[in-house]
Structure formats: C-alpha cells, structure tokens
C-alpha cells in the first residue's frame, strides 16, 4: 500500500511545453535566461538516454514480477513466501554482481483464518433464509470465537455519527463504517486523495468502535471497483474482530438497517503469532568516486495475502532490481553507490523502514537521494518528492530525458513511499514515481492484485523513470543538499 | 443465464432513420408505398405511448428487484429463498388484482459446500509455500472427499487437445479447460457470441474429462471481468468434481504448467439433494375480448447462489410484474389475456419451461406471443424474435413508439430466452429484449450480480419495451400467425 495517511501537496512544476523548451539546457549555458539551470555534462545526459532506452527494450523487470507473484506468491511479513522472496532477491542481486546484505529485524506475523458472515435476522427474512455478507479480516484483527459471534449491526458514515450514538447504541453491536471511496475523484486522477478520505476508518475504526463497547467493527472496502471484492489492509489492533466488507455488502447492510433490525453472524479466526525474524534485502553497486555516498532505489517486497502482490508492490521491487541490471548491462558504473533495497513489512508496521532509518542514522548525511515506487506500474507521468525551488532546475534535464515516454511531470512534495519517509524526515531527499493511478485502488489489497494487472510496456516505462532518475542522482556533479 | 448454447441470427431490420420515417404509418394509409404496413388503430398507438411513459416514470420495477435481491437474496432452485420468492411474486400479483396460479413440478436441489484449491507442488515452490487457486463449484458438480483430492493439473484449450492427450496423460489428473471468453467481441456488442464460444467447456468439459479418466475438471470462468471472480453455472453431471477457476488462476496454472509439474489440492463439498417441489408463478389479467388468447411476459425467478440474482434475472421478473402493474394503473384492460410468468429453474435444468410447454401443449395454439427478458437491464436497443418478413411490418409501429428511448432495433431471430424456447419450437411467436450486453458477462453467475448493477433508469426503459410490446401483442387487430 501507499502511506496510511500521507499528505499530498500539489505543486506541479514541469510539464509538456515547459519541458520541451528545456531540451538541451547544457547547450544553452550562458544564454539569455536569468536563472539558467546548472549545466549537466553531455555524457551524463547521453547515458540517461541509454538507460531509458535499455529499460524500454528489456523484459527483465517483468520477469522479476512474474517470479515474485507466480512462482512465490503472496508475501505477507512473517510468511514462508516472504522468506522465500528475500532469498530470491538476494540471490538475483548477487548474480548481477552486487554486494548483498540481509538486515535483520522482527516483523509482525499475523495469519488469516476462516472468514464468513451472514445475516440471520433482517427485514424480509423468512424460515431458513439468510443473506451472505462477504468479509475479509483486516490485518491485526482479533478473532471471533471459533463458532463466531452474533450481534445487531449499526451503520455509521463517520466518527461523529459513531460518537453521537454513544455507548448505549453501540455497546454489544457490530459497527459498520460505511464511508465511500470517492470514485469520481479517482477517475479525475486524484485516487490517493480518494483513498485518504476513506482509509482512516479502516485504520482507526475498530479502536473507536471498541471504545464504545462494540463487539466487532466492519469497514466498507476502500477501493473503486464493484466486483464484490473485499479490500484488506492494516488496522490498529483493537482487541475486537475487524473486517472489510465489499461495497455491495455495505450497501446491502445500509439498505436493510434502514428498514429494520439486522443481526449478523460473523466468523473470523485469524491468529497473531509471535513476531518473526525477517530482513530488508540491501544490494550495493559501489560508486567509483564516492562509494560512501548512497542513492537508494526501492520497492517493498512484502504484500498482503489475498492476491499475489503484483502492483503492490512486486513492481516496485522489480523496478529497483532492473535499475541494477541496466547499470551492469550497460557497463555504467555510477560515481556514487547505487543501493537496491527490497523493503520488508511495509504493509503491516513498516518495521523495515524504521529499522533502516535507525541503524543507518549516522550515514544518512551521505544518502544523496532515495526513490521508492509504491503506486503500481500503470503509465508513469513523472516523479515527485524533494523538488524545492532551489534544486528543481537540476531535475528539468531529467524530465526532458523522460519526456519521450510522457513522464516529465515534476511535483514538489507528494507521496514518495512509506519506506523512505523516515529518512525523508531526517533530511534525505526522497522521490516517488507518479503513475496513472486511476485504477490502482480497484485492485489494491484484494485477491485481484495479480500479475495480469501489470502491463509489460508500462512497467518498462516505470523502470525507465526509476533508473534514469537514479542514474542522475548517482552521477550529478554535486550531491543534493539535505 | 441466457440459453446455454442458443444460436443467434443477425438479421437486423429496423433502426434509427428507417423507424423515423415510419412515425405515423396509420396516418399514411393508402399512401405511396407499395407495401405499406397494416394500419394500427390510433388509440392503440396512443396507449402504447402511455404505457411507455408510465414505465419510464415509475420505480415499481426497481422496488421489485430490490425486494428479490436484498430482502430475499439468492434463489437457486430448491432453496428456501426460491420458495420465498414464489410466495412473494404470487402475493404481489394478487395484490394487483390478477388471477394467480402456482404450477408445480420437481426441481434439482443442489447445495454448494466448502470450496478451496491450492497448489502444493509447482515450479518455484519452497518449504511451506503454496499458491491459492480461487475456485467455485459448478452446478451439479460431484464432491471431492471431505479432505479433498490431490492430483497433477493438465491444461488444455479445446476438446481436440484433450483427445490428443488421451487416457494416458489425462487419467488420474485434474483437467483445466482454459478457453478464453473473447473480451474484444463483448466490447464490440457481441457478448452472447463470446459467451457461446466458451461456455461449452463449462457445460460439457467435466463429462469429456471423465471419459478419459480425469479425477476432476476445472474451467476458466466464462466472463469478461478481471477481478479474480469465479463464474459458476450449470455443468452436465459427470460424477466428478467440476469447478470454475478465475481468469487469473487459469493464467497462473497455464504459466506454471508450462514451466514444470503442478499438483493441486482441491476441496469441493457440494451436495445433490433429492429433487424438491417448486413452482412457476402464473398470473393472468384476463382479456376483455379474447380471454382464451394469451400473451406472456416473463423472466426467471431462480438465480445462481453466489450473488443475489439481480441482473440474472430479478430484472426480467420485475419487468413482467411492472407490465401488469402498468396495465392496471392505467386502466388498460387488454383484449387478450396478459399472462405474467415468473419461471422456476431456468438456471439448472429448465424444468419450469419444460413443464409449462408440456402441460399447456393443447393451449399453445392460442398463445399469441411470449416475451422473456434474460439479458440484464442495461439500456435496451430494441427487441428480437419472431419478426419474419410476413409480419415484421406490424412491429415497425411498435419500434416507432420505442424510438423515443432508443429501443427501436428489430432483429429477426436471436436469443429470446431459454424458458420460452420450448413454446417457440411449438410455433408460438417468441420475443426477447436486446440489451446493451457489453458488461453483462462481467457479472453473470458471480457473487457480484447484485442490486447496484441495475441502473434504475435503464431498468425502467427495459420495462417500457416489455410492456409496450406486450400491449401491442395483446391488442393488435389480428393475432400473429404461428
């Protein structure tokens, strides 16, 4: 997933026509512009173009996603598949000639169990009839008794409504938070904002309901599709069962509770196991001039357990692996160290991100930049992150190189990935790729996050963006200021 | 569902401009045209327009679908919900003042059980890792042992491929029929043809696999969506377990079996119970002049059990009920008898259709026409059926009335509904509504066939088509020839 509650500023700097005017800033050094961008060596720009073209012509990233999703499968932290994925990525990076380390820490180990729901009393109910409710447990949900629990359903659309009902009307009940994901916003290209408008109920709903005595919490799935598909995701542990229902089931519950009393039987038997050992995979291609200076390319290796973690985030890991592959294949040893990181536990606690930021604290001053992709692999339109006025001109040349694939939009700020946020907070310049996210939340955290959702040519475009930006950061004449 | 294997002829007769030229054929009686259509009484045309406009302004049909789907739910033949739906429709038709009969027969009573699948051996498999395979039993599937069965998977794309592999390579295996539903055809408006190109493997695959010694049969879901949603449906009983897998899982199995040996564990525990008593609901609004002459409007009341049977075919029943409601509300007693039929068991054997055709055999000569809608309730573009050159001109006036809603396409032949096919074969003129079917097979026979898939305004348009056509058939000066 993307950050739970990230803020998204919208300071778009560069797009089509502006970028077109910038095609060869280095050729115009000393020209008329009062603030001409710093000159980039021609060789560096030529190499960025080579990296871009090699990425577009390669299926390496695709083969990595296929391996992670079809030959390994869902990779929830603590699972055997997560362990297998760590070993696979480490082995593949060694094969490419990188220096590989596994950095160890403990991760949550939550395991899904049985899950089903049905209405036993509802307006229209007759002898022997029920209505099935499609549910899936949220990460960190407590279990119901093995035979399930049965309680009346109360539907609210906000925390304010919940508070207004109070303990008397919430106590002993199952609460459904029926906040809709705004599909119109998503269709307009503001999918992250649509997500952020609803996901707070997935994250905090169970705790809020528990505080008023609820026996379980349900949330309307946070996503845009209408195929009766529940969307899981992390919830703050509340000590009560917490599950997502599909949009259709949320509508059904809403309609029926408006008509009369609705009683639901809910079975969820997840288990919270002792924390397990796991790892970030860290693979370095040492810099030729400044090996102590580091540029990170990354995605997260863990995934939710319903699908096979293709768009979230097998593709991000594959783009990072492809960056290493391209540099090696083209013989482009970077001046600074290129560090590939396959993060563990982005989905259920960000233990990998926290551990890295803590254990590498003293080295962060030499982290020149960090890139993570965690928004799928639909067509990229540019990149975002640390693009302040003082340094943005540097990136216009990079945008120009990416204009050939329509990825020349620059955005100051925005969501650059949950795993690199801690080092961003410590001053490291952080970057994300801006993808066409209109359908991302149709599949995100569902069983349908599978390999077929990745379009090979668009994945290659995304790998080109990550690799070109990384090449620029690793070879630019001066490192970016913190 | 629509007919299992219906043939679809494409003889389009009437569309936009042609119909526009026909606006008032009765006003041009005796005009220049060599073959002017027969004159329709002006009052009859005016009443058709009244019926149309009342249908468009009414939410009665919508409320019926809501009742059937949300307050009753899935209605597989033999289930308590199917019984409840019979009682509901009968009661509602009585309330409208119709003469109601329940016509009794025995129906299959097949009950879904547990169902899951996972790969235990596959290329990439490591200690403790599996790949989940999303399965749903097909109607009439046999059960696996309660602990499941485990066997190697063989993938074929046709019966010819199956035959070529023969008993040696099929015996003891699980066969997957991986025939794709052609999404491009569906997008082009030929969804029925796309369905018919693939559904034969769902219907006959298990029998063909069993004949070569297979221990279970899987079929790629016959439908157009990519949300990891399995599509159920009837299969010919084969004595082995038979299930649909999602498109994504079919792709996964295909990719992995190309790489090496794939072994699957499959659990399906459906039960085939003794046949149960059920009913067609038959409600008559007696004709004022020719009560012995009958015009049928209908949909099927049973549904598959995964969703709530909204588009397949709660909407068809609702259109038929709305036809009765409109005639009563407008005080338009028809000259011939209007007969509403809510068919039982369309999905799993067509016992209702067969029983009616048999028990009413001697009366069919007085059945002037029969309409069934069983293709959802997206925007209607016209109607099809018994529109031979000798009689088609009669219907151009009806098409003209429906032109206001864009439903003036006339098609000779086509799929007019499985429940009226037996009486069509006996010479009764049969008709269907042609809907925009581009997304119908995305939801058909899945858990996502729910109320939200019905657009109230488009359902009202469909009800207008059924009611106007029924009004014409019930009041036209001469009955149609058989």
Q: Tell whether B251 is within 8 A of chain A (Cβ).
A: yes
Residue A89 Cα, gap to closest chain B Cα (Å): 13
Instruction: List domains and CATH numbers for chain A.
Output: 11-109+274-475 (3.40.630.10), 113-269 (3.50.30.30)
Q: Report chain B residues whose CB lies below 8 A from the CB of A307.
A: 228
Residues constituting chain B? 482
Tell me which H or E stretch contains A63.
Answer: helix A60-66
Residue B255 Cα, gap to closest chain A Cα (Å): 8
Selection from B204, B199, B152, B209 nearest residue B179 by Cα: B199
Q: Tell whether B104 is within 8 A of chain A (Cβ).
A: no
Identify the segments of chain B with pLDDT beneath 50. Answer: 1-36
Interface-testing mutation among B62, B65, B66, B71, with chain A (most A C-beta atoms within 10 A): B71
Shortest CA distance from B306: residue in chain A: A132
Q: Report chain A residues whose CB lies below 8 A from the CB of B72.
A: 124, 126, 129
Shortest CA distance from B249: residue in chain A: A450
Mean pLDDT of all residues in A178-188: 95
Instruction: Please answer yes or no on whether A225 and B229 come within 8 Å at the CB atom.
Output: no
Q: Tell whether B124 is within 8 A of chain A (Cβ).
A: yes
Cβ distance B420 to B372 under 8 Å? yes
Q: Tell whether B150 is within 8 A of chain A (Cβ).
A: no
Q: Which pair of tokens denotes residue A357?
A: 């930021």
Selection from B201, B216, B232, B4 nearest residue B110 by Cα: B232
| A213, burial (CB in 10 Å: exposed 0-12, middle 13-18, buried 19+) | middle
Q: How many CB pairs under 8 A join A and B?
A: 114
Phi-psi region of A124 (alpha: psi -120 to 50; beta: other; left: phi over 0): left
Q: What is the CA radius of gyration of chain B?
A: 24
Identify which of A73, A134, A227 has the shortest CB distance to residue B129: A73
Between CA A164 and CA B451 the distance in angstroms is: 30
Between CA B213 and CA A224 the distance in angstroms is: 44
Q: Tell whether B442 is within 8 A of chain A (Cβ).
A: yes
Shortest CA distance from A82: residue in chain B: B129
Residue ranges of E strands in A112-240: 115-121, 131-133, 135-137, 149-156, 174-177, 216-220
List residues of A with catalytic annotation. 346
Put the strands of the sheet holding A174-177 in their side by side order. A131-133, A115-121, A263-268, A149-156, A174-177, A216-220, A242-245, A135-137
Between CA B426 and CA B429 the distance in angstroms is: 9
Instruction: Please answer yes or no on whether A132 and B72 come within 8 Å at the CB atom.
Output: no
Q: Tell whether B319 is within 8 A of chain A (Cβ).
A: no
Q: What is the pLDDT of residue A390?
A: 81
Put the strands of the sheet holding B380-385 in their side by side order. B11-14, B409-412, B380-385, B430-435, B367-372, B290-300, B336-343, B271-285, B99-111
CA distances from A343 to A151, A277, B181 (A): 40, 14, 38
List residues of B with catalytic annotation. 346
The SS3 assignment for A472 reads: helix
* Residue A343 pLDDT > 50: yes
Q: What is the pLDDT of residue A38?
A: 59
Residue B4 Cα, gap to closest chain A Cα (Å): 24
Identify which of A70, A123, A448 has the shortest CB distance to residue B228: A448
Put the strands of the sheet holding B216-220 in their side by side order. B131-133, B115-121, B263-268, B149-156, B174-177, B216-220, B242-245, B135-137
Instruction: Please answer yes or no on whether B452 and A251 come within 8 Å at the CB atom.
Output: yes
Identify which of B126, B447, B451 has the shortest CB distance to residue A134: B447
Between CA B383 and CA B434 the distance in angstroms is: 5
CB atoms within 10 A of CB A120: 13
Q: Tell whether B450 is within 8 A of chain A (Cβ).
A: yes
Instruction: Please answer yes or no on whether B71 and A256 come within 8 Å at the CB atom.
Output: yes
Between CA B384 and CA B401 the distance in angstroms is: 16
Give the tens place of pLDDT for each residue, A272-291: 999 999 999 999 999 999 99
Instruction: Please answer yes or no on whether B128 and A80 come within 8 Å at the CB atom.
Output: yes
Q: Report chain B residues whose CB lies below 8 A from the CB of A443.
A: 227
The reported pTM is 0.93
Q: What is the mean pLDDT of chain A?
A: 92
Q: Tell whether B252 is within 8 A of chain A (Cβ).
A: yes
Give the tens place of pLDDT for each residue, B101-139: 999 999 999 999 999 999 999 999 998 899 999 999 999
Identify which of B72, B122, B127 has the shortest CB distance to residue A124: B72
Cβ distance A430 to A295 under 8 Å? no
Q: Which residues contact B102 (CB under 8 A, 6 or more apart)?
A: B86, B90, B279, B280, B281, B282
Residue A11 Cα, gap to closest chain B Cα (Å): 34
Identify which of B81, B123, B126 has the shortest CB distance to residue A80: B126
Cβ distance A278 to A83 under 8 Å? yes
Q: Tell whether A67 is within 8 A of chain B (Cβ).
A: yes
Shortest CA distance from A75: residue in chain B: B129
Question: What is the phi/psi pair of residue B393, to 5°?
Answer: -60, -30
Residue B134 Cα, gap to closest chain A Cα (Å): 9
The SS3 assignment for A117 reads: strand
Q: Which pair of tokens denotes residue B475?
A: 């009041």
Interface-testing mutation among A73, A78, A135, A455, with chain B (most B C-beta atoms within 10 A): A73
Instruction: Please answer yes or no on whether B228 and A446 come within 8 Å at the CB atom.
Output: yes
Mean pLDDT of all residues in A328-336: 98
ipTM above 0.85, yes or no: yes
* Residue A15 pLDDT > 50: no
- For CA atoms A272, A273, A275, A277, the dihedral sign is negative
Q: Which pair of tokens denotes residue B59?
A: 């939410």
Give the tens place of pLDDT for each residue, A19-66: 333 333 333 333 344 444 557 899 999 999 999 999 999 999 999 999
Q: Tell whether B129 is within 8 A of chain A (Cβ).
A: yes
Q: What is the pLDDT of residue B38?
A: 59
Between CA A373 and CA A458 the distance in angstroms is: 13
């Amino acid at each position: 997933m993307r950050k739970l509650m990230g803020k998204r500023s919208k300071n778009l700097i560069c797009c089509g026509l502006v970028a077109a005017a910038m095609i060869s800033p280095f050729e115009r050094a000393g020209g008329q512009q009062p603030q001409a961008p710093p000159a980039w060596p021609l060789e560096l720009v030529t190499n960025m173009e080579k990296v871009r073209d090699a990425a577009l012509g390669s299926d390496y990233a695709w083969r990595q996603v296929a391996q992670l999703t079809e030959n390994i499968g869902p990779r929830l932290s603590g699972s055997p598949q997560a362990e297998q994925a760590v070993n696979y990525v480490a082995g593949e990076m060694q094969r490419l000639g990188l220096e590989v380390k596994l950095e160890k820490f403990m991760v949550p180990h939550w395991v899904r169990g049985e899950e089903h729901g049905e209405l036993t009393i509802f307006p229209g109910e007759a002898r022997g009839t029920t209505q099935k409710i499609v549910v899936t447990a949220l990460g960190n949900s407590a279990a119901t008794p093995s035979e399930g629990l049965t309680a009346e359903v109360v539907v609210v659309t906000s925390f304010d409504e919940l508070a207004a009902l109070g303990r008397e009307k919430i106590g002993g009940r199952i609460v459904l938070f029926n906040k809709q994901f705004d599909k119109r916003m998503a269709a307009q290209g503001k999918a992250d904002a649509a997500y952020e408008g609803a996901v707070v109920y997935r994250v905090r709903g169970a705790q809020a309901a528990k505080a008023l005595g609820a026996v379980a919490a349900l949330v309307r799935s946070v996503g845009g599709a209408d195929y009766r598909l529940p969307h899981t995701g992390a919830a703050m542990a509340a000590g009560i069962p917490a599950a997502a229902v599909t949009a259709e089931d949320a509508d059904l519950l809403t309609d029926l509770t408006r008509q009369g009393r609705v009683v639901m039987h809910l079975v969820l038997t997840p288990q919270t196991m002792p924390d397990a050992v796991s790892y970030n995979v860290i693979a370095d291609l040492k810099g030729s001039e400044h090996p102590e200076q580091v540029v990170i390319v990354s995605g997260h290796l863990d995934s939710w357990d319903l699908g096979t973690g293709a768009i979230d985030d097998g593709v991000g890991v594959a783009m990072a692996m492809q960056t290493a592959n391209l540099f090696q294949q083209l013989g482009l040893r970077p001046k600074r160290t290129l560090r590939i990181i396959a993060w563990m536990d982005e989905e259920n606690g960000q233990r990998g991100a926290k551990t890295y930021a803590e254990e590498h604290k003293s080295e962060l001053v030499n982290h020149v930049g960090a890139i993570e992709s965690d928004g799928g692999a639909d067509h990229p339109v540019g990149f975002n992150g640390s693009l302040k006025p003082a340094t943005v001109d540097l990136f216009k040349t990079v945008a120009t190189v990416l204009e050939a694939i329509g990825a020349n939009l620059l955005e100051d700020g925005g969501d650059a990935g949950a795993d690199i946020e801690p080092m961003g907070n410590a001053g490291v310049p952080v970057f994300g790729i801006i993808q066409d996210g209109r359908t991302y939340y149709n599949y995100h955290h569902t069983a349908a996050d599978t390999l077929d959702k990745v379009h090979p040519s668009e994945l290659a475009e995304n790998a080109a963006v990550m690799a070109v930006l990384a090449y620029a950061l690793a070879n630019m004449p001066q490192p970016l200021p913190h």
